Structure 1
């Protein structure tokens, strides 16, 4: 698992597996951060992508995958193992590029999370650090 991967993780509150975008992996003293991938395109601060653009995800009833930027979910390494986290694929580059632009419009995500998400997306867009 690495930043940019789409991961399926069992959500005990929901009772089924949900999809997430990996921002950063858990470390010694910090949980990993993930963005939720939902099917309802009507939530605040969601980037709505047609399902067919993320081919390894099942199509939703709405026809969209809503990438939620309102909160970054946190999982420790232990929770990822317990909840059977499974990498499904890497987010397509064109979607990551849209995410990197969209983050500048987000207002509901706490600023410390927004800074981290923005930095990771920028690195994913430009991995070599060149312009």
Structure 2
């Protein structure tokens, strides 16, 4: 049965989330309607991660952080952002680390490993 679910996260940095979305070759827009299984399940979000499949991911501010809401039915969302948004959250954490390192004048070298993990080396410039 289709229904929208939320993923509790510790997303606080929207520019880092936008970088993560672009890294996954998806589209990030401010405000909009999040596509779901049926029109009745669609909802408005502060930000929308537009997926290539039939559904989107809504990014909604709750207090001082953001949560993700989406319709996981059919595996469409999981295919694009990973199980429980794992790939998206991995890219988000990398983007946060890169932004902090760059703000401190460091150089970042990223390498994607065969198992999907990301190896990052941060060097002083």
Determine which structure has greater relative contact order: mean sequence separation of CA pairs < 8 Å that are 6+ residues apart, divided by chain length. Answer: 1
| Greater helix content | 2
TM-score strictly above 0.5: no
TM-score, normalised to structure 1's length? 0.30
| Greater strand content | 2
